[in-house]
């Protein structure tokens, strides 16, 4: 069975989803979805350790070797993204019951979990595959299910948010498909490894340029990189709380992975004239995203929307790392990919618990939440501290490596901007702390009313992981370092 390991994390939710659709009772569907997600996570952990110890794992689907067939080629980068997505996916599904039962109507709960599994399968499929067209197919699975999941939000504005996301997402997916079409026209192959060998040999062709342009714009739409982020705040705000946690912690990470994979493994832009110009663009857009996102987050009256804008800002940090263009920069970007999933997972899940108990994510209704739900609030604050990047938390590791990467290139202005951006994060997290521990208005007695146990455990676990990876950062740092080395250094000869 060990030789089948690379395909199992994707296959479990992929076949689990239609099987889940046959279960008529929502509780059963939830239990089944959790089971599938946890199994997929266990397979991913096993795959991750195998890749760590033995190097790249290949798997020829249908028994046809690449480029005739579709191939999975799991390296450290794939394994890291798979680990993040499946881990967060399993944790969130386990925690989801109370929130879903409150926000989703009874007739929809069963299919809701089917859509969750489809989304998970799609994202894992993107992160695992070594074939450009197969990537697009799984992108479609994850996108379609995401639109439906966003539309399940509690009020009708969710439909509009889902519609906006659908239009933007479809343009993005179409651009990616056009890009892949150009690549096939240019090389006659769809396998990424084969593309990576054949494309640099073609020299600088206009077709390759057009292909890369389409793919970058398409992926950046999915990634919600400023100024293509307009769908994100609406979708995150209006979606059901659980869906927001899942999207914030996984889907943009997978988009970042696609951008990195195409840039370095397929196009090998590190050798190209274009790279310099592109790096500047990525850094500029990243910096604008950090400041624009953070500033809006500071003045936002609704915490869920505020955190959504904070995601735009955090994506900015990841793209800055990519734009620095060195092994260290890419490593920082990947570390932040890992850590940000933990931070936003904890933050949005704690927020889902607040919404479950209070019924709103407005700052005004969150007054005194720290007395009402002390553990969930503490977890939120801990994850918030990590988001700022205070030493002792995972967020500090991200920022530290990002600052080091900027310093190594002597980009002092950029370094200052990164630090200033982190300070802005502190402003909006502090605003929550102030509200949460403020005296409630009037003299009403606040009842202690914690989140349901299952949900609370996952919230606390995610928050503590932020602490854990702040002290023992070997897993993300070494994996990201190895992955970045393989992308930029390994095949430089």
Query: Longest C-alpha distance within the chain, in Å?
Result: 74
| Nearest distance in Å: CB 218, another protein | 11
What count of Cα atoms within 13 Å lies in the side-chain half-sphere of residue 405? 30
Complex with another protein: residue 214 or 309, whichever CB lies closer: 214
| Nearest distance in Å: CB 348, another protein | 21
- For another protein, the binding residues in 313-332 under the rule CB under 8 A are none
Q: Which residues have CB under 8 Å from 431's CB, separation 6+?
A: 298, 363
| Nearest distance in Å: CB 118, another protein | 5
Q: Which residues have CB under 8 Å from 98's CB, separation 6+?
A: 356, 451, 452, 454, 455
Find tokens 């919404």 and name the residue. Answer: 355
For 334, counting Cβ atoms within 10 Å of its Cβ (0-12 exposed, 13-18 middle, 19+ buried), the class is: buried
Beta bridge partners of 108: none
Beta bridge partners of 58: 73
- Kindly state whether residue 273 participates in binding another protein, applying the rule CB under 8 A: no
- For another protein, the binding residues in 76-105 under the rule CB under 8 A are 105
- Kindly state whether residue 301 participates in binding another protein, applying the rule CB under 8 A: no
Complex with another protein: residue 59 or 468, whichever CB lies closer: 59
Find tokens 């990876």 and name the residue. Answer: 469
For 170, counting Cβ atoms within 10 Å of its Cβ (0-12 exposed, 13-18 middle, 19+ buried), the class is: middle
| Binding pattern for the stretch 161-200 against another protein, x by CB under 8 A and - elsewhere | -----------------x---x-xxxxxxx-------x--
Question: Which structure tokens are listed for 144?
Answer: 């379609």
Residues in the chain: 493
Complex with another protein: residue 64 or 412, whichever CB lies closer: 64
- Kindly state whether residue 144 participates in binding another protein, applying the rule CB under 8 A: yes
Q: Indicate the DSSP class of residue 73.
A: E
- Kindly state whether residue 2 participates in binding another protein, applying the rule CB under 8 A: no
Determine contact, residues 199/205, Cβ cutoff 8 Å.
Answer: no
* Cα of 471 vs its chain's centroid, Å: 23
- Kindly state whether residue 128 participates in binding another protein, applying the rule CB under 8 A: no
Complex with another protein: residue 152 or 463, whichever CB lies closer: 152
Among 31, 42, 137, 464, binds another protein (CB under 8 A): 137
| Nearest distance in Å: CB 286, another protein | 23
Question: Which parts of this chain interact with another protein (CB under 8 A)?
Answer: 4, 7, 11, 14-15, 17-19, 21-22, 59-64, 67-70, 105, 107-108, 111-112, 114-115, 118, 121-122, 125, 131, 133-134, 137-138, 140-141, 144-145, 147-148, 151-152, 159, 178, 182, 184-190, 198, 205-207, 209-211, 213-214
């Amino acid at each position: 069975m060990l030789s089948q390991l690379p395909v199992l994390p994707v296959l479990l939710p992929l076949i689990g989803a239609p099987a889940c659709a046959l279960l008529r009772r929502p509780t059963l569907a939830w239990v089944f979805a959790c089971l599938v997600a946890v199994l997929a996570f266990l397979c991913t952990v096993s795959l991750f350790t195998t890749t760590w110890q033995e190097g790249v794992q290949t798997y020829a689907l249908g028994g046809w070797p690449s480029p005739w067939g579709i191939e999975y080629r799991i390296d450290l980068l794939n394994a890291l993204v798979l680990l993040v997505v499946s881990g967060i996916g399993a944790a969130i599904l386990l925690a989801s019951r109370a929130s879903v039962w409150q926000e989703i109507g009874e007739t929809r709960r069963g299919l809701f979990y089917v859509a969750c599994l489809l989304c998970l399968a799609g994202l894992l499929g993107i992160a695992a595959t070594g074939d450009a067209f197969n990537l697009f197919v799984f992108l479609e699975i994850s996108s379609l299910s995401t639109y439906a999941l966003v539309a399940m939000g509690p009020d009708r504005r969710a439909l509009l948010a889902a519609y906006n996301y659908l239009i933007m997402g479809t343009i993005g997916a179409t651009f990616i498909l056009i890009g892949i079409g150009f690549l096939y026209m240019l090389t006659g192959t769809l396998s990424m490894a084969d593309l990576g060998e054949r494309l640099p040999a073609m020299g600088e062709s206009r077709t390759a340029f057009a292909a890369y342009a389409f793919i970058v714009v398409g992926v950046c739409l999915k990634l919600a990189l400023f100024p293509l982020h307009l769908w994100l705040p609406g979708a995150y705000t209006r979606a059901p709380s659980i869906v927001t946690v899942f999207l914030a912690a996984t889907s943009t990470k997978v988009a970042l992975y696609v951008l990195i994979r195409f840039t370095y493994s397929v196009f090998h832009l590190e050798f190209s004239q274009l790279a310099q110009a592109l790096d500047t663009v990525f850094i500029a857009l990243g910096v604008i995203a950090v400041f624009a996102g953070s500033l809006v987050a500071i003045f936002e009256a609704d915490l869920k929307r505020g955190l959504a804008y904070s995601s735009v800002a955090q994506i900015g940090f990841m793209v800055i790392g990519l734009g620095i263009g060195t092994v260290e920069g890419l490593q920082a970007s990947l570390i932040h990919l890992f850590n940000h999933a933990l931070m936003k997972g904890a933050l949005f899940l704690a927020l889902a618990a607040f919404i479950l108990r209070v019924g709103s994510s407005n700052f005004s209704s969150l007054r005194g939440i720290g007395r009402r739900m002390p553990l969930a609030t503490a977890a939120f604050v801990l994850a918030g501290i990590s988001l700022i990047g205070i030493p002792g938390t995972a967020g500090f590791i991200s920022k530290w490596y990002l600052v080091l990467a900027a310093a190594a290139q002597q980009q002092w202005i950029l370094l200052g901007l990164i630090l200033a951006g982190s300070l802005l994060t502190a402003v909006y997290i502090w605003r929550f702390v102030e509200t949460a521990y403020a005296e409630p208005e009037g003299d009403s007695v606040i009842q202690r009313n914690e989140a349901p146990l299952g949900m609370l455990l996952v919230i606390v676990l995610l928050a503590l992981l932020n602490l854990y990876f702040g002290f023992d950062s070997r897993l993300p740092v070494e994996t990201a370092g190895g992955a970045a080395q393989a992308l930029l250094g390994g095949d430089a000869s």
